[in-house]
Amino acid sequence: MSKKNPITVSSWTLGDQCKFEDRVIAAKEAGYEGIGLRAETYVDALNEGLHDEDILAILDKHDMKVTEVEYIVQWCEEHRSYEQKYKEQMCFHMCELFGVGHINCGLMENYSVEYTAQKLKELCQRAGKYIIGVEPMPYSGIPDLKKGWEVVKASGCDNAMLILDTWHWVRADQPYDILTPEIAKKVISIQINDAYKRPYAAPILRDESMHDRLAPGTGAKDTAGFVKMIKDAGVDPKVVGVEVISDAILGKGLKEAAAYTYENTEKVLKEVWPELVD
């Protein structure tokens, strides 16, 4: 496995209806170097009756690693539910267990840059040695790179960084020339995929994100151009996540979804950033 930029099948790409070992096998057979887990899919594995040592043994058996951990939310709320507090702590535990250095985080609620930056600072303090990767999403409280960068910068935390996703980038209608070398230094990882030319209507845009993405290079939104932007800006992603959340693709079967998304990811990377797959 590439220790530097592992090609990783993100948790949602393979859904949440499979057993842990089946997820690992599908990813391995497809060619992936790592798997992503959300707190929920980790708990699903525990609910199968697996303990941490069993999970690690399965990964070792198939020569795979967990390389992506997610997803902390609602971190700006003054009165968070215990579910969200437990979920945050679960993500910290998963990082320790799997040797992952960063956590993907999102924020649906919309607050000022100043307030959001303060709450991000508090989250980063709780995270300690782990990096908090803030992911801009066009339907969220951090809709684009501009606000994401402002929040991360204003937090003043070394462990506050950004995660950039192709789908979120193109659906926010962002040009490629806004990712400066300064901002690029704060990008911890990327997620790649593709999208149809025409987006869902704004009120239901999140439905497209959660059900109808396309595999890298198979849509109208130039995955290769996004990856080239990342490379040219000097980003060194800790993970190249493949997040293709698609009911249609997953409906063909777990192994088929893994194979199809990896195959198309490899095509894009060989074209634009061959060092990642050679």
- 150 residue type, one letter: E
> What's the confidence (pLDDT) of residue 3?
63
In the chain, % of residues over pLDDT 70: 99
With respect to residue 263, please indicate whether it lies within any of the assigned structural domains.
no
With respect to residue 170, please indicate whether it lies within any of the assigned structural domains.
yes
pLDDT in tens, 83-122: 999 999 999 999 999 999 999 999 999 999 999 999 999 9
Structural domain including 136 reads 7-255
**Which residues are registered as beta bridge partners of 35?**
9, 66
With respect to residue 169, please indicate whether it lies within any of the assigned structural domains.
yes
With respect to residue 136, please indicate whether it lies within any of the assigned structural domains.
yes
The mean pLDDT of the chain is: 97
> What's the confidence (pLDDT) of residue 278?
80
With respect to residue 35, please indicate whether it lies within any of the assigned structural domains.
yes
Alpha-carbon 220 to chain mean position: 21
Confidence check: pLDDT of 16 > 70 = yes
- CATH number where 123 lies: 3.20.20.150
With respect to residue 147, please indicate whether it lies within any of the assigned structural domains.
yes
In the chain, % of residues over pLDDT 90: 98
With respect to residue 267, please indicate whether it lies within any of the assigned structural domains.
no
Looking at residues 230-246, what average pLDDT do you find?
Answer: 97
pLDDT-based confidence at residue 22 (cuts at 50, 70, 90): very high
Q: Do the Cβ atoms of 28 and 62 come closer than 8 Å?
A: yes
Where in 41-138 does DSSP place strands (E)?
A: 65-72, 102-105, 131-134
Name the domain count of the chain. 1
> What's the confidence (pLDDT) of residue 1?
45
Q: Do the Cβ atoms of 221 and 176 come closer than 8 Å?
A: no
Alpha-carbon 154 to chain mean position: 23
Which of 54, 204, 84 is closest to 139 using CA atoms? 204
Confidence check: pLDDT of 151 > 90 = yes
With respect to residue 2, please indicate whether it lies within any of the assigned structural domains.
no
Confidence check: pLDDT of 256 > 90 = yes
**Which residues are registered as beta bridge partners of 9?**
35, 242
Confidence check: pLDDT of 66 > 70 = yes
> What's the confidence (pLDDT) of residue 27?
98
- pTM, full prediction: 0.96
